[in-house]
Amino acid sequence: MGSGSGSVPLFETRRAKGNLIYRSFALSIFVGIALILIYRVAHLPNQGQDGRFPSIGLLVCELWFAFYWIITQAARWKIIFRHPLKDNLSLRFEKDLPRIDVFVCTADPAIEPPLMVINTVLSVMAYDYPPEKLSVYLSDDAGSDITFYAMLEASRFSTHWLPYCRKFNVEPRSPMAYFASQSVVSVSSQPEEFVSIKKLYEDMAGKITRVTELGKIPEDVKLQHHKGFSKWDSYSSRRDHDTILEVIIDGRDPKAADTDSLVLPTLVYLAREKRPQYHHNFKAGAMNALIRVSSEISKGQIILNVDCDMYSNNSQAMRDALCFFMDEKHGPEIAYVQFPQEYANDTKNGLYGSLRTIDMDFRSLDGLGGPLYIGSGCFHRRDTLCGKIPNKELGYSKWKTEPESRTEESLKELEERVVNLANCAFEDNNTQWGNEVGLKYGCPVEDVITGLSIQCRGWKSVYMSPKRPAFMGIGATSLEQILVQHNRWSEGDFQIFLSKHNPFLKGFGKISLGLQMGYCTYCLWAVNSFPVLYYSLVPSMFLLKGIAVFPQVSSAWFLPFGYVIIAKHVVSLIEFLYCEGTALGWLNEQRIWLYKRTSAYLLAFVDTIMRQIGFSELKFVISSKVSDDNEMAERYENEIMELGAESSMFTILASLAMINLLCLVFWVVKKLLGSKNVGSFDGLALQIVLCGALVGINWPMYGALFYRQDKGKMPSSITTKSLFFSVFVCTLFAFLY
The amino acid occupying position 482 is I
Three-state SS string across 198-239, please? HHHHHHHHHHHHHHHHHCCCCHHHHHHHCHHHHHHCCCCECC
The Cα–Cα gap between 79 and 83 comes to 14
Q: Do 463 and 371 touch, CB atoms closer than 8 A?
A: yes
Burial class (CB in 10 A: 0-12, 13-18, 19+), 100: buried
Q: Do 325 and 331 touch, CB atoms closer than 8 A?
A: yes
Residues 577-597 as b or e (16 or more Cβ within 10 Å = b): eeeebeeebbbbbbbbebbbb
Give the DSSP H or E segment for 343: strand 342-343
- 361 is known as an active-site residue: no
Q: Write phi, then psi, for 256 (nearest 5 degrees).
A: -85, 75
Q: Do 72 and 357 touch, CB atoms closer than 8 A?
A: no
Residue 270: name the closest of 371, 405, 128, 147 by CA: 147
The Cα–Cα gap between 274 and 244 comes to 10
The amino acid occupying position 269 is Y
- What is the SS3 assignment for 600? helix
C-alpha distances (whole Å) from 363 to each of 76, 372, 453, 482 are: 8, 11, 20, 24
The radius of gyration of the chain from alpha carbons, rounded to an integer in Å, stands at 28
The Cα–Cα gap between 584 and 510 comes to 42
The Cα–Cα gap between 251 and 262 comes to 10
Q: Do 452 and 503 touch, CB atoms closer than 8 A?
A: yes
- What is the SS3 assignment for 468? coil
Residue 624: name the closest of 490, 475, 447 by CA: 475
Q: Do 363 and 16 touch, CB atoms closer than 8 A?
A: yes
The Cα–Cα gap between 244 and 353 comes to 40
- 141 is known as an active-site residue: yes
Number of H helices, E strands in the chain: 26, 13
Catalytic residue among 141, 309, 320, 346: 141
The Cα–Cα gap between 2 and 11 comes to 5
C-alpha distances (whole Å) from 296 to each of 18, 414, 420, 545, 701 are: 49, 8, 11, 71, 54
Q: Do 571 and 25 touch, CB atoms closer than 8 A?
A: yes
Give the DSSP H or E segment for 418: helix 411-418
Q: Write phi, then psi, for 334 (nearest 5 degrees).
A: -90, 120
Asked if the bond preceding 172 is cis, omega within 30° of 0, the reply is yes
Tallying the residues shown for the chain, one arrives at 737
The Cα–Cα gap between 310 and 178 comes to 14
The Cα–Cα gap between 207 and 214 comes to 11
The Cα–Cα gap between 138 and 102 comes to 8
C-alpha distances (whole Å) from 176 to each of 31, 196, 341, 348, 554 are: 53, 15, 19, 21, 62
Catalytic residue among 101, 346, 447, 607: 447
β 11-15/80-84 pair status: antiparallel
Catalytic residues: 141, 447
